[in-house]
Amino acid sequence: MYRIPVYQPDLSGREREYVLDCIDSTWISSKGRFLGEFEQAFANWTGSPHAAAVSNGTVALHLALLAAGIGPGDEVLVPTLTYVASVNAIRYVGATPVFVDSLADTWQLSSASLLDHVGPRTRAVLAVHLYGGSCDLHALAAVCEQHGLVLIEDCAEAIGTRYQGAHVGTFGLLSTFSFFGNKTITTGEGGMVLSRLADVDERVRHLRGQGLAPDREYWHDVVGYNYRMTNICAAIGAAQLERIDSILEMKRRLADAYRQRLADTPLTFQAQTTGEEPSYWMVTVLTPTAELRDPLRTHLAEAGVETRPIFHPVHTMPMYRSGEEAFPIATDIAARGINLPSWHRLPDDALDTICDHIRKFFSAR
DSSP H/E element including 233? helix 231-241
d(CA 253, CA 251): 5
Q: Are strands 174-178 and 150-154 parallel, antiparallel or unpaired?
A: parallel
**Residue 107 parent element (H or E):** none
Residue 294 C-beta-side C-alpha neighbours within 13 Å: 3
- Residue 324 has a pLDDT of 79
Third-level CATH fold of 15-241: Aspartate Aminotransferase; domain 2 (3.40.640)
3-class DSSP assignment, residue 71 = coil
Give me the CATH topology for the region 244-363.
Answer: Aspartate Aminotransferase, domain 1 (3.90.1150)
Distance of CA 346 to the CA centre of its chain: 21
- Residue 346 is predicted with a pLDDT of 97
Nearest partner of 266 among 148, 358, 176, judged by Cα? 358
Q: What is the pLDDT of residue 365?
A: 87
User: Low-confidence residues of the chain, pLDDT below 50?
Assistant: none
DSSP structure class, residue 173:
S
DSSP secondary structure letters along 274-293 = TTEE---SS-EEE-SSHHHH
Task: For the chain, state the CA radius of gyration.
Answer: 21
Within 13 Å of residue 170, how many CA atoms lie on the same side as its CB? 19
Q: What pLDDT, on a 0 to 100 scale, did the predictor assign at position 60? A: 98
pLDDT for the residue numbered 360:
97
- The pLDDT of residue 259 is 98
Question: CA-based angle 87:204:99, to the nearest 5?
Answer: 15
pTM recorded for the entire structure: 0.97
What is the domain partition of the chain in residue ranges?
Answer: 15-241, 244-363
Alpha carbons 336 and 290: distance in angstroms, whole number: 5
Which amino acid, one-letter code, is at 19?
V
Distance, in Å, from the CA atom of 136 to the CA atom of 132, rounded to the nearest integer, reads 13
Helix (H) or strand (E) holding 169: none
Contact 48, 194 (CB under 8 A): yes
The answer to whether the CB of 283 falls within 8 A of the CB of 304 is: no
